[in-house]
Amino acid sequence: MSIDAVLAETRPPLGTLHSCVCTDRIQETGDVVTLEFQRTDGRRFDFLAGQFVTIRFSWDGERYARVFTIASPPTRPQRIALTIKAAANGRATRILHDHFAAGCSLEISEPGGDFTLEGRAVEKALFLCAGSGITPLMSMARALYDTGSDLDLAFIQCARTPDDVLFGQELRMLRESMLKLRVETMCSQMSGSGQPQGGGRLDVAQLARLVPDAASRTAFLCGPAGFMQAMRRHLIELAVPAERIFMESFGLEPSPANKAFGSTEAVVTFERSGVRCESNEGETILHLAEAKGVYIETSCRMGVCGTCKVKLLQGEVEMNDMGGLTEIERLDGFILSCCSMPRGDVVIDL
């Protein structure tokens, strides 16, 4: 079954939210915590390894919505684990890191995304990650372990220091049980505890040394945008076909080519709000709404989660989304405001 068929068969509407309660908290590193949740209705979670969810919660009278990839495997469906790094300037992740513990409640959406092994003919795989980008790959690795898979897998984690390495002990345990799993860790700096440097930054020569058969593997990359773009270039240089390189999309910027569709003469009207404004080249509907004080609930801001959907009443937009709308929603005239730029005058039902 193809990946499109798998997703079509398993994907409920992304907008569906389930009330959940935190059941456990694990401090992974100084600024990374894993929170485990279960549904309050007692039902199991249904997702594919590598997918993401949107969480929504309230704190001190403010509402927050954020997207996180799932760290736990679908083979353990009673709970869902989210591994969250407290961003320096991120209020929502700081609240989750500093204050959430067993008993705290929030809402979790249905899963989304096609960053998964399911539906793909993968004979040999390469997992390549940096920072908290390890989470969807850990979901996949844990699922492979639980199902007794003998997939030939090379797993490379890049971290700033040895103190920042995530799931190191668990990966070593998996390596002992999974005969075809190879695990490598690369650290760019020494740790605060004085541990030795772990190999420096991963360049193409080191990647070739660590994975000499890279050209025969299907690669899954997740991490900061700059890291993924650099690793993709390295892999292509090592003769990995571009169609066998898959990247988790969070943090990627829209391409300049797509931005070029924006019109400097467009007028955007938010009909129910009575607001009209002119659009500059490359400005999205969401950016214009926020600039004019028109509220649109948002989360991933990448066209993935579907949170910021609005109805287009008149006109056309160029929408560079990543699967955040169902086909029915598209036919009904909905667009994702975070990645839609007007092509001429448009009217939005807001």
CATH number for position 327: 3.10.20.30
Q: What CATH number corresponds to the domain at position 87?
A: 2.40.30.10
100 and 150 co-located in one domain: no
Last residue of a domain, one of 193, 215, 247: 247
Whole-number pLDDT of residue 196: 44
pLDDT per residue rounded down to tens, the chain (350 residues): 555 555 545 445 555 789 999 999 999 999 999 999 999 999 999 999 999 998 989 999 888 888 899 999 999 999 999 999 998 878 899 999 999 999 999 999 989 888 999 999 999 999 999 999 999 999 999 999 999 999 999 999 999 999 999 999 999 999 999 999 999 999 988 765 555 445 567 999 999 999 999 999 999 999 988 899 999 999 999 999 999 999 986 544 444 334 444 445 799 999 999 999 999 888 999 999 988 989 898 877 778 778 899 999 999 999 987 677 888 999 999 999 999 999 999 999 99
Residue 267 lies in a domain: yes
Residue 116 lies in a domain: no
Residue 292 lies in a domain: yes
Nearest to 29 by CA among 247, 187, 176: 187
142 and 228 co-located in one domain: yes
Last residue of a domain, one of 218, 247, 276: 247
234 and 265 co-located in one domain: no
305 and 220 co-located in one domain: no
21 and 131 co-located in one domain: no
Interior/surface letters 204-241, b for 16+ CB within 10 angstroms, e for the rest: bebbeebbeebeebbbbbbbbeebbebbbebbeebebe
Q: Alpha-carbon distance 277 to 51, whole Å? A: 37
145 and 220 co-located in one domain: yes
Q: What CATH number corresponds to the domain at position 158?
A: 3.40.50.80
Whole-number pLDDT of residue 97: 97
Are the beta carbons of 245 and 228 closer than 8 angstroms?
Answer: no
Q: Alpha-carbon distance 268 to 271, whole Å? A: 9
Q: Alpha-carbon distance 277 to 346, whole Å? A: 10
Residue 328 lies in a domain: yes
**3-class secondary structure, 92:** helix
What's the pTM value of the predicted model, to 2 decimals?
A: 0.78
84 and 185 co-located in one domain: no
Q: Which helix (H) or strand (E) holds 330?
A: helix 327-331
Structure tokens at 178: 């999974």
Q: Which helix (H) or strand (E) holds 63?
A: strand 62-69
**Amino acid residing at 122:** V
97 and 141 co-located in one domain: no
Residue 233 lies in a domain: yes
**3-class secondary structure, 84:** strand
Q: How many domains does the chain have?
A: 3
Are the beta carbons of 277 and 25 closer than 8 angstroms?
Answer: no
Are the beta carbons of 348 and 271 closer than 8 angstroms?
Answer: yes
How many residues in the chain? 350
24 and 83 co-located in one domain: yes
Last residue of a domain, one of 81, 109, 137: 109
169 and 205 co-located in one domain: yes
Whole-number pLDDT of residue 331: 93
Residue 32 lies in a domain: yes
- Please state, as a whole number, how many other Cβ atoms lie within 10 Å of the Cβ of residue 334: 19
Residue 118 lies in a domain: no
End-to-end CA distance of the chain: 40
Q: Alpha-carbon distance 322 to 172, whole Å? A: 34
Which residues constitute the domain of residue 305? 256-348
Structure tokens at 288: 């214009």
Q: Are strands 218-222 and 334-336 parallel, antiparallel or unpaired?
A: unpaired
Whole-number pLDDT of residue 263: 44
Instruction: Give me the residues paired with residue 312 across strands.
Output: 348
Q: Alpha-carbon distance 30 to 97, whole Å? A: 10
Residue 313 lies in a domain: yes
Whole-number pLDDT of residue 58: 92
Q: In what order do the strands lie in the sheet with 267-270?
A: 275-278, 267-270, 346-348, 309-314, 334-336
236 and 280 co-located in one domain: no
Q: Alpha-carbon distance 341 to 256, whole Å? A: 13
99 and 214 co-located in one domain: no
**Phi, psi angle pair for 57, to nearest 5°:** -155, 165
